[in-house]
Amino acid sequence: MSGAFSLGDVVRRFIESSYPDASSQDWTVALSGGVDSMVLTRLLKPIADEWGVSLSAVHVNHGMRAEAARDAQFAEKACNELGIPLSLKTISLHDVPPELHKSVEADARRLRYQAIVECVLGVQNVPGSSGVPRGKADSNPSGGQVMGDSVENNKVHKPVVFLAHHADDQVETVLLRLLRGTSVEGLRGMQPVREWQGIRWMRPLLTVSKSQLVDYASSNGIDCIQDETNFDTHFTRNYIRHEVIPKLHHVQPNLAEVIGRLTDVLEAEDRWLAEVSQEHFRTLVQKRGKDLVIHTERLLSIPLPLQRRVVKIILYCLASADWTFDHVDSILRLCRESGASALVHLPGRVRVRKSYNELHFLRVDSRKSDIGSVTGAGQLKWRLDEQSMCRLQWSGSEQSWTFRCDRWNGREALGLLLADRYQALFPKGLEVTIRSYRAGERMKVLGLQGSKKVQDLFVDAKVPRHLRAEWPCFYVGDDLVWVPGVARSTLFLLDEFQDGWHVIAQSVPS
If we measure between CA atoms, which residue out of 169, 207, 255 comes closest to residue 18? 207
* Reported pTM: 0.66
Q: What Cα–Cα distance (Å) separates residue 44 from each residue in 30, 85, 118, 161, 483?
A: 12, 14, 22, 11, 64
Give the burial string for 102-134 (b: 16+ CB within 10 Å, else e). eeeeebbbbbbbbbbbbbbeeeeebeebbbbbb
Residue range 173-230, pLDDT digits in tens: 999 989 887 888 889 999 999 988 889 999 999 999 999 999 999 999 999 998 887 8
Give bridge partners of residue 202 from the DSSP assignment.
162, 193
Over residues 323-354, the pLDDT tens digits come to 888 889 889 988 887 666 677 888 878 888 88
The H-assigned helical ranges of 103-166 are: 104-121
The dihedral formed by the CA atoms of 36, 41, 44 and 46, expressed in degrees to the nearest 10: -130
Return d(Cα 227, Cα 62) in angstroms, integer. 12
- For the CA atoms of 347, 350, 352, 353, the dihedral, rounded to the nearest 10 degrees, stands at 120
The candidate with the shortest Cα–Cα distance to 198, out of 226, 159, 236, is 159
Q: What is the pLDDT of residue 428?
A: 85
With bands split at pLDDT 50, 70 and 90, how would you rate the model's confidence at 11? very high
Residue 494 vs residue 188, higher pLDDT? 188
The answer on pLDDT for 84 being more than 60 is: yes
34 is in an annotated binding site: yes
Domains with residue ranges and CATH for the chain:
2-165+189-229 (3.40.50.620), 268-367 (3.30.465.60), 369-510 (no CATH)
Helix (H) or strand (E) holding 481: strand 479-483
pLDDT digits (tens, 9 = 90+) for 138-173: 344 444 433 433 334 444 568 999 999 999 999 999
First to last CA, the chain: 80
Least confident piece of the model among 30-44, 90-104, 159-173, 358-372: 358-372
Helices (H), 59-138: 68-82, 104-121
- Asked if residues 447 and 496 have their Cβ atoms less than 8 Å apart, the reply is no
Which amino acid appears at position 353 of this protein? R
SS3 290: coil
Measured between alpha carbons, how far is 363 from 353 in angstroms, rounded to an integer?
11
How many CB atoms sit inside 10 A of residue 278's CB? 17
Buried b (16+ CB within 10 A) or exposed e, 428-460: eebbbbbbbbeeeebbbbeeeeeeeebeebbee
Chain centre to alpha carbon of residue 461:
42
CB 402 within 8 A of CB 389: yes
* Nearest one of 340, 327, 331, 337 to 292, comparing CA atoms: 331
pLDDT for res 66: 77
Spatial strand order in the sheet of 423-426: 371-374, 388-394, 399-408, 500-509, 423-426
Q: Do 229 and 38 meet the contact criterion of CB atoms below 8 Å apart?
A: no
C-alpha to C-alpha distance for 322 and 330, rounded to whole angstroms: 15
Q: DSSP assignment, residue 274?
A: H
Higher pLDDT, 251 or 349: 251
Q: Over range 241-263, report the average pLDDT.
A: 94
Can you point out the beta strands (E) in 6-135? 27-30, 55-61, 86-90
Residue 37 marked as a ligand binder: yes
